[in-house]
Chain A
Amino acid sequence: MSKTISLKKAKKQNLNILIIDDNEQITQLISSFLDMSNHNCTVVNDGIEGLEQIKTNQFDSILLDLSMPEFDGYDILNTLEKDDPTQMHKIVILTASSISPYVIQKFRDLGVSACLQKPVDIDQLLSSINDTVN
């Protein structure tokens, strides 16, 4: 009985999530975890494609890696800031390099929802995604 309820609950918060990261193992991990948690994932492995996805489709939440070859996470943030700042609150930044509280504050000022440092705890990731929706 309780299982059906939790499933129903999960169905209810079925989210469209975009994952932008050039590391396929990481996107694989995140997307399979989110799939299992009943969310719809779109995975792209480079920044340009990521930006196109953001422009053409509606997502509830966007997971963004900062360091990617050519068009990186910073480029995406810059473009969105100019073209479509309303998307900012959907963004959860994932980064491998350590960033200072000062930079984190800068991201916050831009309207970014959260900034997580890899290796990211997957439960924490899920709660950050839920925060973007609320």
Chain B
Amino acid sequence: MFKIKQALFLIFGITSFIIFYIGILNYVTTQDKNMGLLILIFSAIVSVGTMFATFYISKNLTNPIEILIQQMKEFSQTNSFTASSLDDKGIQELYTLNKNFEDMANKVGKALEKEKQLNLELKEMDTRKTEFMSMISHELKTPIMPIMGYLQLLKKEDLMGKLNEKQLDALNEITISTERLEKLIQDVLTAQKIDLGKLSTEKVNVESKVLVEDAYRAFHPFCQNKDVQLNMSLDGNEVVYSDSDRISQVFSNLISNALAFMPEKNGIIEIGTLNNSENMTFFVRDNGIGIPEDQQKNIFKKFYQVDTSSRRKKEGSGLGLSISEGIIKNLGGKMWLDSTINQGTTFFFDLPKVSVPIENLKSLKTTSQSNHISS
């Protein structure tokens, strides 16, 4: 790399030296000394003139470029720049270049400033929204206990007297709706916690087999009621360092999701593990209606629900998958899916393995239970 200044001085220096040298050579070798002297003086003047011209050109050429370089550097670092004091007496193209850059940078700078301001406002609004939602959810949660409690109380024949069948039916309907409301509020609260980075997890060493078996046990009767077959497929058994309560929450969301999009007949859900070198991959596979490819990228967004164009009732909050992905990320894993229309969908998630032989962890089996104490 070299500078324009250096190149100019090198080229014009050599040129003027050659001209001067030819002048001297001519003077030494010529017969006509007067003519020789004249040419020598002329060559000297040309050499000196070239040097001055070089000075002048170099100053006018490199100054504006150096200013431009400085301004660009400043702009890229701070989004603002110091206006140049260039006058229009120098090289016209460079002067125009400089002015055009200043105009452009001014506009870009203003746009950036505006965007920054907007971003700040948006961020503040988002925080306030999250806080508001969290406050609302807490307030919504409070009346749930008296509602559920009195419903339970009303069903106690020995304390409240016997209800007739119609009254009991009505109570059951209220109970179902209240339970759904509670689940929804709980989901909103969990999503808030993930957003605010306040999701609490309690990691312990737990066997991958236990995690899947727990989910299987919890959902087997439920699936049977809905005439859906629930299968389990285990690929080895490894220790993962994770939060079994949160994992069961994820399984619950994925299985509920799968149940919502089952075919009319012969619905099958398979849960299990795939043993990889570093991770244990867990999956929930269904033979449901599948998710269109263009909607797959939105599937983990909050409140997103797949447009099935079927007459199926949409019951979920649209939070289950977003929460599940948030939990898995929080636990150091990742979640993805594989889906074919009318054939089914598989949701996968990874959990990092722990390199401890299972035999060495005698207390493992109890870990998943001890977490449920009185909570």
Q: Which residues of A contact B373 (CB under 8 A)?
A: 101, 104, 108
Inter-subunit contact A119/B375 (CB<8 Å): no
B117 at the interface (CB under 8 A from A): no
A37 at the interface (CB under 8 A from B): yes
A133 at the interface (CB under 8 A from B): no
Residue in chain A with minimal CB distance to B158: A6
Contacts A100-B200, A121-B152, A123-B152 hold; do A25 and B143 have CB atoms under 8 A apart?
yes
Residue in chain A with minimal CB distance to B150: A29
Q: Which residues of B contact A121 (CB under 8 A)?
A: 148, 152
Q: Which residues of B contact A116 (CB under 8 A)?
A: 374
B35 at the interface (CB under 8 A from A): no
Instruction: Please give the distance in Å from B350's CB to the nearest CB on chain A.
Output: 24
* Cα-based distance from A103 to B27 in the complex (angstroms): 103
Instruction: Please give the distance in Å from A44's CB to the nearest CB on chain B.
Output: 18
* Cα-based distance from A119 to B145 in the complex (angstroms): 4
8 A Cβ contacts from B96-145 to A: 138, 141-145
Inter-subunit contact B374/A33 (CB<8 Å): no
Inter-subunit contact A115/B138 (CB<8 Å): no
A130 at the interface (CB under 8 A from B): no
Residue in chain A with minimal CB distance to B138: A96
8 A Cβ contacts from A22-61 to B: 23, 25-26, 28-30, 32-33, 36-37
Inter-subunit contact A101/B202 (CB<8 Å): yes
* Cα-based distance from A117 to B371 in the complex (angstroms): 14
What mask results when residues 98 to 132 of chain A are scored 1 for a CB within 8 Å of chain B, else 0? 11111010001000001111111111000010000
Q: Which residues of A contact B187 (CB under 8 A)?
A: none
Instruction: Please give the distance in Å from B373's CB to the nearest CB on chain A.
Output: 6
B214 at the interface (CB under 8 A from A): no
Chain A positions within 8 Å of B, measured between CB atoms, are 23, 25-26, 28-30, 32-33, 36-37, 96-102, 104, 108, 114-123, 128
Known contacts A36-B159, A120-B145; 6 additional CB pairs below 8 A are: A36-B160, A101-B370, A117-B375, A118-B141, A118-B145, A119-B148
